[in-house]
Structure 1
Amino acid sequence: MTLPTFGPDAQPEGIMRVSRTAEDMGYDSLWTGDRVLAPVAPSVPYPGQDGVMPRTYENHLDPLVALTFAAAHTNRVRLGTSTLNGLWQPPIMLARSLATLDVVSRGRLDVGLGLGWMPEEYEAVDVPWSGRGARLDETLDVLDGYWSGGTFAHEGPLFTVPETRVGLRPHQRPGPPVLLAAFTPRGFARIGRRLDGWLPGAMPLTRLMDMWGAIVEEAEKAGRDPASLRMALRVNPVLTGTAAEPEQVPQRGTLEQYVDYAREAAEAGVHELFVDFGQTPTTLDERVDIAGRFLTGVRAG
């Protein structure tokens, strides 16, 4: 499930309670998102149901700091970003931060990267909006090289790293898994060619598995074993009091309908599914209660 890193519960107490409770309940992983702005008048609509960014995003914690805090209060659950915008800082700094988090969590980090949707955020961090794919590829090159340890240097179109000795190595070797949120043929090819998995958002399962099939095909073309890749599916429940029409799920529905969706996703071949119970306005107590009832329902199947 996701940590409360957005909205009114984005506080130390909220992170501690959700982290510990989720681990005790039997959840396998905790996830954070990434925002730097909540523009008053964004230039492009939010990629959600009504095109309006949720007000909860106006209060946002740093995702890696939040995961580090969660790591200190848990022992078993994995810690993931869904998603971290990997282009908002120099890749050498990103490589160091992620390696550090993997070390202090003793190898529990999953790096989920995305490119974002809002030009204003790129403007605020002084990173060009255009050329994001090429910038991501070079960022991945730096991550791979830095995490290898030893002597490292990089010279590319965008970044230069003078030859240096790197003593910091991630706990996981050769590095933490890197997954990508992508929905285009070029993104699928990037996943199949060089990454560890895919971070899709909830959608009808037939469409989801068709996209996964495209990623598998790209992995095979690159000479990689598709079985080495994994899919972690994000679900943002909008809970309703009465059952939604089948075609509205998973965009909205009752808790029972989301339980059914999770079971069907597992049967279809989804490796992991995580839920953000902060999408429906709830108190922290309600969020924890819903999380418990959801997991109980999934296990009952």
Structure 2
Amino acid sequence: MKFGISLLPDCGPQNRSATDYYRDVLALSRNADELGYDYVKMTEHYIGTYGGYCPSPLNFLSAVATVTSQIRLMTGCMLPAFHHPIQIAAHTAMVDVISGGRLDCGFARAWLPYEFEAFGVAMDDSRAVFEETIEAVVRLWTEPAVTAHTDFFSFAGVTSTPAPVQAPHPPVWGAAIRSPESFEWLARKGFGLLVSPPPLRRDLWATRELIETYKRTYIETHGSLAGSRISIAIPLYVARTTQQAREVALPAIKEYLDVTADAATAWSGVSSSNYAGYENMRKAFEAITPELLAADAAAVVGSPAQVLDQVGTLAEFLSVDTFLWNVDYGGQDLTSMASSVELFAEAVAPMLRDASDEAVA
């Protein structure tokens, strides 16, 4: 079982400066490296408070590479719809070289209408451009002269430089949330799975069914689950007592949900065949009251003993081998984030790793 910290800022200049945010998450990443975490993950978004402080995961991870030595650097995720594959291949390889071969590349289709509008990209093309761009990037990493002609890009005889350090290429992951087609495609390609579960426990059964789709397709394509990777990004907060953990985490999670609901207002009057049901996302997030969150949050929140039990339950129910802990939700500062990250590493992670090793043995 592996663990990482997952970063998706939900703050803006009205409540926290970019300088303060970057300073804190860079320090937290260095701390995670020293504590033995496996990954630091940064997402890509633009324009608004929802993720607006992370337009370039690769820029951030390059900075992390200079102050860490072991932790792997994960884009979680880059958005191929807004980039040319030659750029992605070259920029990711550069970070892989700078970090000494520590980059994991996660990709996502993007989901915010205002981002597509700003970049002049049709939402109905998002799945096709996602798949074709990733396939082109892998070829650019691994082939000496690549030619590709699609509806979205065209080039001939391109040799991408620099080449990545990792052979044959950096590990590839793909984000999937609610579309079975995404889970199936990632499994067929042999890529890792990045899942963001719904905020409430009552809805986790749907995530489980989709992960089962990934597993079933992976076995059908590759003969076994060997090489498959299943991760979830989910909020974490550990404190000495459950009451302390909930007092910090629940209001911060609610703040994150409110920011997400505000971003989802962009779906008003918008629909896309590639995003069935997304037009209802704002109402779904707004319906999660503080009382409902307190009673049914899917987040991992509590004392070390409770968190240990919750992680074990989630790992078994969702077949998870990697937990990427959302830690910056609600605009938390370094003191708040570091307290939880350190306590998890000291009081919970060793027991989970030992149990995982015993299960393998």
Do both proteins adopt the same fold according to a TM-score greater than 0.5, normalized to the shorter chain? yes
Q: State TM-score, norm by structure 2.
A: 0.71
Higher helix share: 2
| Gap regions ≥5 residues in structure 2 | 238-244, 251-291, 352-361
How far 1:281 moved relative to its partner?
Answer: 4.1
1:76 aligned to which of 70, 80, 86: 70
Instruction: Determine the structure 2 residue equivalent to 1:264.
Output: 313
Instruction: Determine the structure 2 residue equivalent to 1:250.
Output: 298
Within the alignment, does 1:151 sit opposite 2:145 as a pair?
Answer: yes
2:132 aligned to which of 135, 138, 147: 138
Separation (CA, whole Å) in 1 of partners of 2:159 and 2:329 = 44
Separation (CA, whole Å) in 1 of partners of 2:7 and 2:52 = 16
C-alpha deviations, 1:16-42, integer Å up to 9, x for none? 31121111112111010111121xxxx
Separation (CA, whole Å) in 1 of partners of 2:227 and 2:301 = 33
Within the alignment, does 1:189 sit opposite 2:184 as a pair?
Answer: yes
Separation (CA, whole Å) in 2 of partners of 1:79 and 1:10 = 21
Task: Report 1:1-301 matches (<5 A).
Answer: 1-3=5-7, 7=11, 8=16, 10-11=18-19, 12-38=22-48, 55=49, 57-182=51-176, 183-203=178-198, 204=201, 206-237=205-236, 240-241=246-247, 248-251=296-299, 253-254=301-302, 257-268=306-317, 269-299=319-349, 301=351
Read off the aligned partner of 1:260 and give its amino acid letter. D
How far 1:102 moved relative to its partner?
Answer: 1.3
C-alpha deviations, 1:102-158, integer Å up to 9, x for none? 121121111111112211101112222111111112102211210113122112232
Report if aligned partners of 2:188, 2:218 keep a CA contact under 8 Å in 1.
yes
* Change in CA separation of 1:139 and 1:58 when aligned onto 2, cut-off 3 Å: closer
Separation (CA, whole Å) in 2 of partners of 1:227 and 1:10 = 41
* Change in CA separation of 1:282 and 1:259 when aligned onto 2, cut-off 3 Å: farther
Q: State TM-score, norm by structure 1.
A: 0.84
Instruction: Determine the structure 2 residue equivalent to 1:46.
Output: none
C-alpha deviations, 1:161-200, integer Å up to 9, x for none? 1213345321112211111111312111111111421101
Q: Percent identity?
A: 22
Read off the aligned partner of 2:310 and give its amino acid letter. Y
Alpha-carbon RMSD: 2.7
Separation (CA, whole Å) in 1 of partners of 2:315 and 2:36 = 17
